[in-house]
Chains A and B, each alone.
Chain A
Amino acid sequence: MNIRLSDIRRAFQGIVPSGVSTADSHGVPNITFVSQVYLVDDRHVALSCQFFNKTRRNLDENPLAAAEVIDPLTLQAYRLRLKFLRSEKSGPLFDTMSLRIDAIASHTGMTGIFRLIAADVFEVESVDIVEGFLTTPVDAPCEGVSIEGARTEMRGLQLVSERINRAADLESLLASVLESLEEFFNFSHTSILLWDDANRRLTTMSSRGYGKSGIGAEVALGEGLIGTVAREKRLLRLSSLEADLRYGRTIRREATGAASALAEEIPLPGLPDAQSVLAIPLTLGDRLVGVIAAEDRDPMRFSEWHEAYLDIIANQIALGIDRMIEHGDEVGEDAAVAAGAAPTAAERCRAKRRLTYYRHDDAIFVDDEYLIRNIPARILWKLLGESQRTGRTEFSNREMRVDTSLGLPPVKDNLESRLILLRHRLQEKCPDLQLVSTGRGRFALKAEASLELVER
């Protein structure tokens, strides 16, 4: 084999669909487009078996196959002669291929219908460039990691580590990580979601590069791309998001008659026209801490190098977050409720605010607009009630922790992240009500408007 499969790995990213032909025992050929030929190693590829189709039946009769894959940057085609070896229904290869399909299925409301049945593994007997496929060959842009680039990225890794270690509080830790990713890798659209064991959801705690911060946006475990990454605790890199989603939607459309109750499609968090996604679980051992996600409009934006690199950073972020949560009171938890920007004159014009707590929904609305729910809502309601009853405006983290009515978990209570979330939501929806730091582990409720509290 003159061409190594790893030398043409771009052709295996699934950006251009590949043709795969097989033949039955009577010599009748069959040809199909597949969304991705998965590169296993330099001698093996795999195809996803999602339906028991003709290709699959032919392989049982005749293991020989041929595939044509195309480099998406140069449009150069390569032909592979294949020999079917085995179907894997579990194991690392199956899990990796399944994650991508599960994520797309979840995102398009096709969970359980659009799924991987098996990873069909082939030995590659030969790979040849298709001479004459292009009349004018196109030079591939250099995408290797140059020594200079690697130095920059290693330096970036060092600086990200330093910033994580230096961060005084959770909020600055998350913000500095996303800032560093943009500074050193030009990742312009990023977010970090933290896992909340109490309500079994991921909550967006920090984002960068989006028109709206999206802070407070929630994702359930297993929902969409990020929820799938969190559930499986496995990294996901999609290079052809639009094509994958289109493929998933086609199957959804085709399956509509066969499945009665398909879930509604979940809006993709972040860029509406993202072409590539890299989502990495933040874990400590088996424990899920959160997910860091990056998106881009360039389908080739994220490479294997970024996977490896962000995996290292993800470990450090997870450790840093855990340190903040574990020792929040000791490492400047007060910064979690640092003073926000003062309300503008225009904002102060709205001198009266009605806050309504809906007990059944465990949610607070401000002037009929949703503000926050669950534990942060209970915290705010406690502060508002206490303030109205006694005139008190100063509070401590400790008294939040000992108040069992708030429902904070006894360990890893994420109080700091809940206060960050609460402060951000107030800044966005009710800027004349603020949580302001008054010292280590202490904060004040500061109201610039008269408040009407209603409980229903």
Chain B
Amino acid sequence: MPRCLDPGLSIIVGAVNEHGQPSTCRAIAIDSSDDLETLKVFLPVATSHETIKNIATTKRLAVVATYPFDNSATQLKGQAIEARLASEEEGVFVRERLEAFIGSLRGFGVPGRIASSLAHWPAFAVTIRVEQIFEQTPGPNAGRRLR
């Protein structure tokens, strides 16, 4: 299965409201304990109002995780089954993943001082039931269904 759960990934999510208007938001971390049957997505509270509202309304969520150094990417789509504030225990994981992402950004010359100021906590923990997984690496295979 793709490396979509590795540390250091750049993650964005897409949701949609009841009128078909999409929204987008950066996520700080994703995690799965059941081989991607479900996926837990951590969204900063500060920046995810619209996305959370859309998830509450339509349940639909798409997540793309990209490894910045080689652009390899995976998209996961599914329906939200839970959305709540992340716990302090989960906060440790979120901060670890943020640090790994900051490391990726440093590799591209973004000063750590700036990268460290990315909003990440408190965060919502949104769990989705994964229905589809797609190859998203740029190229002719982008969009190929993996599961």
A29 to B11, CA, bound (A): 15
Whether A23 is near chain B, meaning CB under 8 Å from some CB there, is yes
Q: Of B58, B109, B134, B142, which contacts A27 at CB under 8 A?
A: B58
Whether B89 is near chain A, meaning CB under 8 Å from some CB there, is no
Assuming A19-B26, A54-B143, what are 20 further A-B pairs, CB within 8 angstroms?
A: A21-B16, A21-B62, A22-B14, A25-B20, A28-B60, A28-B77, A29-B15, A29-B60, A31-B64, A66-B14, A66-B21, A79-B23, A130-B47, A131-B46, A132-B44, A133-B47, A134-B119, A251-B139, A254-B138, A299-B109
What are 9 sample pairs from A and B whose C-beta atoms fall under 8 A apart? A19-B14, A21-B62, A27-B16, A30-B62, A33-B10, A77-B47, A250-B137, A254-B137, A258-B140
1/0 contact string of B45-79 vs chain A (CB within 8 Å): 01100000000001011111010011111010100
Whether B141 is near chain A, meaning CB under 8 Å from some CB there, is yes
How many A residues touch the partner, as a band? 35 or more
Whether B100 is near chain A, meaning CB under 8 Å from some CB there, is no
Given contacts A27-B58, A31-B13, contact A79 B137 (CB under 8 A): no
Q: Of B15, B134, B139, which contacts A254 at CB under 8 A?
A: B139
Collect the chain A residues with CB atoms within 8 Å of residue B2's CB.
none
Contact (Cβ within 8 A) A250 B70: yes
Number of interface residues of B (CB under 8 A): 48
Given contacts A133-B118, A255-B140, contact A29 B14 (CB under 8 A): yes
Collect the chain A residues with CB atoms within 8 Å of residue B23's CB.
21, 66, 79
Contact (Cβ within 8 A) A254 B141: yes
Whether A74 is near chain B, meaning CB under 8 Å from some CB there, is yes
1/0 contact string of A64-79 vs chain B (CB within 8 Å): 1111100010110101
| Closest partner residue, chain B, to A136 (CB atom) | B117
1/0 contact string of B90-123 vs chain A (CB within 8 Å): 0000000000000000001110001101110000
Contact (Cβ within 8 A) A33 B14: no
Contact (Cβ within 8 A) B117 A29: no
Whether B12 is near chain A, meaning CB under 8 Å from some CB there, is yes
Collect the chain B residues with CB atoms within 8 Å of residue A165's CB.
none
CB proximity of B124 to chain A, nearest CB, Å: 13
Contact (Cβ within 8 A) A32 B140: no
Contact (Cβ within 8 A) B47 A23: no
1/0 contact string of A132-165 vs chain B (CB within 8 Å): 1111111000000000000000000000000000
Contact (Cβ within 8 A) A134 B117: yes
CB proximity of A111 to chain B, nearest CB, Å: 15
Collect the chain A residues with CB atoms within 8 Å of residue B58's CB.
27
Contact (Cβ within 8 A) B139 A31: no
Collect the chain A residues with CB atoms within 8 Å of residue B143's CB.
51, 53-54
Contact (Cβ within 8 A) B72 A138: no
CB proximity of B8 to chain A, nearest CB, Å: 15
CB proximity of A181 to chain B, nearest CB, Å: 25
Collect the chain B residues with CB atoms within 8 Å of residue A258's CB.
140
Whether A62 is near chain B, meaning CB under 8 Å from some CB there, is yes
Which residues 277-300 in A have Cβ within 8 Å of B in the complex? Answer: 299
Contact (Cβ within 8 A) A77 B20: no
A305 to B10, CA, bound (A): 32
Contact (Cβ within 8 A) B66 A33: yes
CB proximity of A298 to chain B, nearest CB, Å: 9
Whether A246 is near chain B, meaning CB under 8 Å from some CB there, is yes
Contact (Cβ within 8 A) B26 A22: no
Whether A302 is near chain B, meaning CB under 8 Å from some CB there, is no
Q: Of B61, B64, B72, which contacts A250 at CB under 8 A?
A: B72
Given contacts A19-B26, A30-B14, contact A64 B117 (CB under 8 A): no
Contact (Cβ within 8 A) B119 A135: yes
Whether B136 is near chain A, meaning CB under 8 Å from some CB there, is yes
Given contacts A132-B47, A250-B138, contact A20 B118 (CB under 8 A): no
A19 to B66, CA, bound (A): 11
A267 to B1, CA, bound (A): 35
Contact (Cβ within 8 A) A29 B22: yes
Collect the chain B residues with CB atoms within 8 Å of residue A75's CB.
110, 114-115, 117-118
Collect the chain B residues with CB atoms within 8 Å of residue A254's CB.
137-142
Contact (Cβ within 8 A) B118 A31: no
Collect the chain B residues with CB atoms within 8 Å of residue A227's CB.
none
A148 to B1, CA, bound (A): 58
A255 to B142, CA, bound (A): 11
Given contacts A74-B114, A132-B44, contact A31 B12 (CB under 8 A): yes
Contact (Cβ within 8 A) A51 B44: no
1/0 contact string of A382-418 vs chain B (CB within 8 Å): 0000000000000000000000000000000000000
Collect the chain A residues with CB atoms within 8 Å of residue B16's CB.
21, 23, 27-29
The 5 closest A-B pairs by CB, nearest first: A254-B139, A132-B46, A21-B14, A31-B14, A19-B12
Whether A81 is near chain B, meaning CB under 8 Å from some CB there, is yes
A138 to B119, CA, bound (A): 13
Contact (Cβ within 8 A) B61 A134: no
A62 to B110, CA, bound (A): 36
Contact (Cβ within 8 A) B24 A68: yes
A132 to B117, CA, bound (A): 10
A66 to B13, CA, bound (A): 11
